[in-house]
Chains A and B, each alone.
Chain A
Amino acid sequence: MDTFLLLWQGLAVALQPINLLYALVGVTLGTAVGVLPGIGPATTVALLLPVTYKLDPAGSLIMFAGIYYGGMYGGSTTSILLNTPGESASIVTALEGNKMAKKGRGGPALATAAIGSFVAGLIATLALAFLAPWVVSVALAFGPREYFALMVLAFVTVSAAFGDSALRGLTSLFIGLTLGLVGIDLQTGQARLSFSHPSLLDGIEVTTLAVAMFAVGETLYVAAQGKRAPESIEPVRGSLWMSARDWARSWKAWLRGTVIGFPIGAMPAGGAELGTFFSYAVEKKLSKHPEEFGEGAIEGVAGPEAANNASAAGTLVPLLTLGLPTSATAAIMLAGFQQYGLQPGPLLFTSNPQLVWGLIASLLVANLMLIVLNLPLIGLWVRLLTIPKPWLYGGILMFATLGTIGANPSVFELAMLLVFGLLGYGLRVFHFPIAPVVVGLILGPMAEQQLRRALAISQGDVMVLFTSPISAVLLFLAAVALILPLVLRAQGRGRVLAAVAADSD
């Protein structure tokens, strides 16, 4: 009952005209940027963060929620019409969706993706609202050692557990952790890895790193591929509406996708792609038309798209209740919170309930806006896909540099953007994952604080980490998540893990 009341109050915040406007601007911008080829939600959120700088915290986070959901929606449009998934979570959508589009059924494909995203977003956001207070009550009992163990688990799942190589995932993670060391040590005030450079004393901005890695790195990588990737946009022919048969085949897939996607997002298991792959496998197994899979089966779009959105809402559970980002997008959102001095976690629910519940409620609002706006406007979004590449990427870099100097007006910040952009390009060339770098940068210093606190309490006794049952179990899970994939890969059964490589989201 309490949750209903809080959610109701949240809706009162979200439905204030000015906040509705913020949400509308957020979903529109999020869709417009997310629909651009090669740009996933993480990049969308990183690029659009500067738009929210000068708003009040509530308005900014509400606009942010809109950008997040809009970016997710825009990504699926790109994969259906262009077959270049902007994010790994859309790969499965591209599989069947693009086939449907080629057969002239792009309209129903887009429609089932949109309605599935809506259904999943609705259910998952409600699940978030009901799960969050419960997690918060559990998390209140967490001390530094439990938080540290949780972060270690997140490190492992984000970097080593999935993807095609534990080595490259861990390398990315440790690059991020190293970057996280830069700046003044909070406990002793000593500068680390700053080389007496004043601009480095505040540490490395998460937004600069994220924009550099995702936007600049991706631009360089695409440019370096030359003209090898011919792209053709599938025009949306025929009716946009789903037939009765499409509905009958879609609704169960939406629900199943939601049920699969949400828990995966809510657990610190890394990105949304895992859920989309599971959902695809399940739909293929349960379908009465398995022969259509690979040829444009509507369930293969409906299920994974729902799973995708449900796990996106799921990742907000650890982010809001524990302050734990489990994807690159969540890491950037955490940076968004921190720019207002807000630290997500159990305390935020008690100290700032209006803000948290306003944010959750505005997710519902954003979701509704997306379905109302996007299906009728689909022609407009498709038009965005036809922007010629030189203008498109010129514009993306324009926004990337705008965001960087907007956050921190100095030439030094631009130099960091360039350096990290080259790093991101290099990582892409050698197939290193990007998300662990961003998560490592933001989560590394937090984990260090928790560890030092835990060890200060125990007067330096490391065993304290294992004497708490919760932290012992979490560390055990982290060890399993690290070792088991290594064994699987050594036995040559790593292909499943490679298939769910966390690439962008």
Chain B
Amino acid sequence: MPTGTNANTRRPDWAALIIAAGLALLAAVVAWDASRLGGGGAYARIGPQTIPYAIAICLGGLAFWTVIEAWRGDFPEREPQEFAPVLWIVGGLVLQLATISIAGFSIATGLLFGFVARGFGARKMWLTIPAGILFASIIWLIFARGLSLTLPRGPLEAALVTVVTGIGTAVSSLFGGVA
């Protein structure tokens, strides 16, 4: 929740100025992209580029407004942020997306789990990563096998499928034998 709105110090507010610069850059990109678009036919005075231009103008206006508020120190106070946990989590997400096509859903997501847990202070990664891989393979079984969602397969998933189908045939042959 936003707390106090009357920030008093930090004038100008550099972080807010960077936000304003970002908005201005975004406006420029949108306008540049719109300038490449062709018209919408002979009749339409409003084409695919009209709304992008309007949005670019508004973004530019918002950038300007942000500069004013930054200058007057109107931006609310920020709580100090700890960046180490953020880096652990971002690292986990990057690691997951780098490994998921090779290692499969379970291993990649287990790594993510371990890294996120590390970000929240669980240091025993030798414990959290295997636990994560276990959870992820259960989820994979439920969603990919049970609900037929397409989730990346890797060596672990292949082994899981073999085991599960193996158990399935064993059970059915057992019951088949009884009957």
Contacts and interface: CB of A to CB of B under 8 A. Distances in A.
Interface of A: 50-51, 53-54, 88, 91, 163-165, 167, 170-171, 174-175, 177-178, 181, 185, 187-188, 190, 192-193, 216, 219-220, 223-228, 388-391, 393-395, 397-399, 401-402, 405-406, 409, 411, 414-415, 417-418, 421-422, 425, 429-431, 448, 451-452, 455-456, 459-460, 494, 498, 501, 503
Chain B contact residues, majority secondary structure: helix
B78 A187 contact: no
Given A397-B93, A405-B100, A421-B93, 6 more contacts: A51-B147, A165-B76, A224-B85, A390-B117, A394-B120, A405-B105
Contacts of B16: 430
A409 B153 CA distance: 11
Contacts, number: 204
5 contacts: A171-B19, A181-B55, A192-B52, A390-B121, A451-B51
Given A398-B113, A459-B43, A177 B55 contact: yes
B1 A88 contact: yes
Contacts of B89: 219-220, 223, 397
Given A393-B116, A397-B92, A414 B2 contact: no
B107 interface: no
A317 to B, nearest CB: 28
A53 B82 contact: no
A190 B38 CA distance: 8
Give chain B's interface residue range (CB within 8 Å of chain A): 35 or more
Contacts of A418: 90, 93-94, 97
Given A192-B33, A223-B119, A418-B97, A431 B92 contact: no
B141 interface: no
Interface stretch (B128-136, B154-162, B167-175): B128-136
A406 B109 CA distance: 13
A240 to B, nearest CB: 30
A6 to B, nearest CB: 31
B114 A170 contact: no
B150 interface: yes
Contact of B96 (A88, A164, A193, A414): A414
Contacts of B15: 430
Given A414-B97, A460-B44, A430 B149 contact: no
Given A181-B52, A223-B86, A397-B92, A54 B147 contact: yes
Interface string B79-123: 101110110111011101100110001000100111011111110
Contacts of A429: 78-79, 81
A185 B33 CA distance: 13
Given A171-B23, A406-B150, A409-B152, A397 B76 contact: no
Given A393-B120, A402-B109, A192 B1 contact: no
Contacts of A177: 55
A455 B46 contact: yes
A337 to B, nearest CB: 19
Nearest to A418: B93
B21 interface: no
